[in-house]
Structure 1
Amino acid sequence: MSRQPDHVPADRVVHFDIYDVPGADEDIQLAYRAFQQAHPDIFWTPANGGHWVATRADDIEAIQRDHENFSHRRITIPPMPPEYPRQIPLEVDPPEHAAYRRPLTRALLPRVVNALETKITGLTVQLVEALLPRGECEFIEDFAKILPIAVFLDLVDLPRADRALLLPLAEDAVRGTSVEARHRAHAGIAAYLMPWIEARRAHPGDDLLSQIVNADINGKKISQAEAVAFASLVLFGGLDTVASSLGFIAHFLARNPDHRRQLREGLDDPAFMQGAIEELLRRHGVANTARTVTRDMEFRGMQLRAGDMILPPNLLYGLDERKVQDPLRVDFTRPFPVPHATFGNGPHTCPGAVLARREIRAFLTEWLRRIPDFAVRPGTKPRLATGMVNGVLSLELVW
């Protein structure tokens, strides 16, 4: 716990621990929203070193787009020590950020993802048809942590067999409750990546890892230390975020047969499916990235000090009734575009968003064609976890 700073009003102090949110074992997004509804729009928590939390859509977007006042230089809660390497490109502000982001953007353009369509669909069909006769599965291990991770490991041309080694490290990196746990995870990934990085820097291929570790930053090849940091962050994102989204969506559909029916009836309607996927993403946001206040300033009536940390939770944007009418209702006919910040806003919007949407669509299409009705196994409930990336750790389904 951190003591209350002098510039924080007593009536803005609320205990909020991103790693232990009351009610998160039932519904993580609703647990966050309870703080949005019960407390001031912006409050300060003494947990995890002490930081501000902005809970309303307009403020979340303003913070995400204003890198001059709200820097990305440290984005975890609690922040990693100053001597720890930056998480490239996430902890790099514009204009420097653009050069680091460019290889990711190029590697994940819609036309590149379109070329992966056959592979994504084929792997999805293979997984679902293998599960179908069993009548049951543990969805996270049997599907959510296979489909997006296999696609990603192929993109970076790393062995799919290394999944078992990498997943526990990714888990600690995004949901580790201490700086020490996250540091060990990053060190483990760096040790794993080093020989691959050295090989790709010496003999580049056309894979995403080769593009990252040989990136041209303002006319100069990225340093090896930066290449390790860059590759590590991309690996963590590729190994966890889409798997978490798939878990939340499968859990929702397992409990809502009317929504399953609507999706089955609309599987061949591209416009309907596009809106439905956005609506599912709106209701089930996963990622959080904090910001560092760069100067003493007033923001929405609060006095912020240089060095303060502030968390604008992405998932709360789409759950704000000031932005979204009846936000707790999942409505596949909601007017497009569906308001949410699941992939962030501004220059740091997730470059993998196109690929994530494509993998979610493949799951919905191929799963619901073959397993139209399914439920959470009676007597069980999913194991959920909060953190910098909220996730579903286990989900037992039957059909």
Structure 2
Amino acid sequence: MSTGLATPLAERPNHVPSDLVVDFDFYNIPGSDEDIQSAYAAFQKSFPDIFWTPHNGGHWVATRAEDILVMQKDHQRFSYRHVTLPPMPEGTPPQIPLELDPPMHAHFRRPLVQALQPGAVAKLEQGVHDVCVQTIEALMPRGECEFVEEFAKVLPITVFLRMVNLPIEDKDFLLPIAEASVRGSDSQTRVKAMQDMGGYLYKWIEERRENPGDDLLSLVVNTQIRGERISVEEATSYAALILFGGLDTVAGMLSFFARFLATHDEHRQQIIANLDDEVFLKSAIEELIRRHGMANTARLVTHDFDYKGITFKAGDRLLPPNLLVGMDDRLNPDPATVDFARQGGIHAAFGNGPHACPGAILARRELRIFLREWLSRIPDFRIKPGSKPVLATGQVNGILKLDLVWP
């Protein structure tokens, strides 16, 4: 998403060699309107494993799995304290728990992980199934839909708003805020999104702190650390980040899945033939996730050190795109090809280490239910003739528009 506000190019720091400077703007990548992940991979194949770009405040970019996996896990050198690019204004409160490093991160993360464990997610499965089926069966007679608005944003958002016990009808207000947060290309847009979300949440947080229920929002805003309840400000940041994740990420992955299957008949038929094969379906979902990574969270270099011949300085910012792990040909042969028989396909779509996405179990469950219920009812679908999917890069890559038709 572009706001039309151009970010000035940063001046190359003295410790950055000129031959490591690359014209890379992750909000505007050549070819991303056709295939975001392959557009990223073109930089992976054509430029140094780690390079520096003057765009978005000036930052390093790691393109290979070996380095990205280190940067995901090593918070002592690569901190999560600032995960957005361009940088947020000085003094902006941290996004909790994402922009906290261990050990403090673990205190905030624990209640969220407990709420999203397999047993807890299993209790949500029937609700996910019911929303999925109702939505598909309402669309079926029409023979067409705009998938993003009419399905991808309906299923996970309905499920998520039920989890936090917020009004379903508020989704139309919340979705544009989430969109601005994850794909806004300037700090002003993202700050406003955070303020808007905080303003929306304030009354609910006050209510749940006074009269907590058994919903996820009540759980996180009453988190206790060392015997003391977190502050209202911390609760607001925590709740806002959960809503941003819950309102956007799974919707994006559903859209990537649907676009791929609409344009790859053979793969679609393979899944249809194996909808009752749990092992096959699990493997197919992981392969589709590997091929369609989405998240781009930055890191902050904590101190001066050398890494593989590159000098990093304290305060340097670095982008290790999760999707490039799955697209690394040193790790996954022929990575642009989706192969449901692939053995050991490695990806980092949900992160690694202490900050691995706590919602990954629920996301996989929703993706599985989508494939089973959609393909058993609408097995033959394609992109509407004359239309073109609208893709967007940013902190979270996604599809903004996807017109589908079926007999």
Same fold (TM over 0.5): yes
- Counterparts of residues 16-35 of structure 1 (less than 5 Å): 16-35=24-43
> Are 2:395 and 1:381 aligned?
no
- The reply on whether 1:353 has 2:365 as its aligned counterpart is no
1:136 to 144, 148, 152: 144
Correspondence for 1:72? 80
Q: Secondary structure at the match of 1:47?
A: coil
Q: How far did 1:260 drift?
A: 0.4
Give deviations 1:217-254, integer Å, cap 9, x for gaps.
12210110000000000000000000011111100000
Aligned 1:120-269 pairs, distance under 5 A: 120-269=128-277
2:298 is matched with which residue? Answer: 290
Partner of 1:369: 376
Cα offsets for 1:87-127 (capped at 9, x unmatched):
00000000111100011101100101111111111111111
Task: Name structure 1 gaps, 5 residues minimum.
Answer: none
SS for the counterpart of 2:100 is: coil
Corresponding position: 1:55 with 2:63:
yes
Correspondence for 2:315 = 307
CA distance in 1, matches of 2:226, 2:283: 39
**1:335 corresponding residue in structure 2:** 343
Scaled by the length of structure 1, the TM-score of the pair is: 0.99
Say which SS state the counterpart of residue 19 (structure 1) adopts. Answer: coil
2 CA distance for matches of 1:55 and 1:362? 33
Rounded to whole Å, the distance in 2 between the matches of 1:47 and 1:117 is 43
AA paired with 2:379? P
Query: Paired residue for 1:95?
Result: 103
Task: Provide the rounded CA distance (Å) in 2 between the counterparts of 1:250 and 1:74.
Answer: 33
* CA deviations over 1:286-309 (Å, ceiling 9, x no partner): 111110000001112110100000
SS in 1 for 2:300: strand
Q: Supply the distance in 1 between the matched residues of 2:129 and 2:82 (Cα, whole angstroms).
A: 37
Say which of 32, 35, 41 aligns to 2:49: 41
2: CA distance, partners of 1:301 / 1:244: 37
Q: Distance in 1 between matches of 2:38 and 2:172?
A: 31
With structure 2 as the length reference, what TM-score do the two structures score?
Answer: 0.97
Measure the CA separation in 2 of the matches of 1:202 and 1:96: 25
Deviation, structure 1 residue 331: 0.7
Deviations 1:196-217 (A, max 9, x none): 0000000100100001100011
RMSD: 0.6
Report the equivalent of 2:115: 107
Gaps of 5+ in 2: 1-8
| From 93, 97, 118, the counterpart of 1:85 | 93
Give the Å deviation of 1:274.
0.6
CA distance in 2, matches of 1:227, 1:62: 30
In 2, the alpha carbon distance for the partners of 1:15 and 1:131 equals: 43
CA distance in 1, matches of 2:270, 2:68: 32
Aligned residue identity for 1:378:
P
Deviations 1:337-378 (A, max 9, x none): x31000001000000000000000011000000000100001
Asked whether 1:277 is paired with 2:318, we answer no
What stretches of structure 1 move > 3 A for 4+ residues in a row? none
Deviation at 1:82, TM superposition (A): 2.9
Match of 2:3 in 1: none
CA–CA distance in 2 between the matches of 1:373 and 1:35?
A: 35
